[in-house]
């Protein structure tokens, strides 16, 4: 699994308003991007935005919080 490819697929799905697929691909990117802080944060932000668009506010808040913690401690 390639981090950049999954981020691209997530952004494409988000642009096409397929927020479930976007969340899926950003989640896969998250798993592959732990070695690069900027990409890791991009994955969290993508999951946050996709969850917000799906009305999943608890999930969005969780991803936002995890992104902030990763930004501070990563």
pLDDT level of residue 30 (50, 70, 90 thresholds): very high
* pLDDT tens track for 49-65: 999 999 999 999 999 99
> Which pTM was predicted?
0.93
Residue 74 banded pLDDT, cuts 50, 70, 90: confident
> What's the CA angle centered on 66, arms 62 and 68, to 5 degrees?
120
Residue range 29-54: average pLDDT? Answer: 95
- Please determine, for residue 1, whether its predicted confidence score (pLDDT) is greater than 90: no
- Angstrom distances, CA of residue 13 to CA of 26, 29, 37, 74: 10, 13, 23, 27
């Amino acid at each position: 699994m390639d981090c950049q490819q999954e981020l691209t697929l997530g952004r494409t799905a988000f642009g096409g308003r397929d927020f479930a697929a976007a969340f899926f691909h950003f989640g896969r990117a998250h798993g592959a991007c732990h070695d690069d802080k900027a990409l890791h944060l991009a994955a969290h932000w993508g999951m946050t935005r996709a969850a917000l668009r799906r009305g999943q506010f608890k999930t969005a808040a969780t991803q936002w919080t995890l992104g902030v913690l990763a930004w501070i401690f990563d």
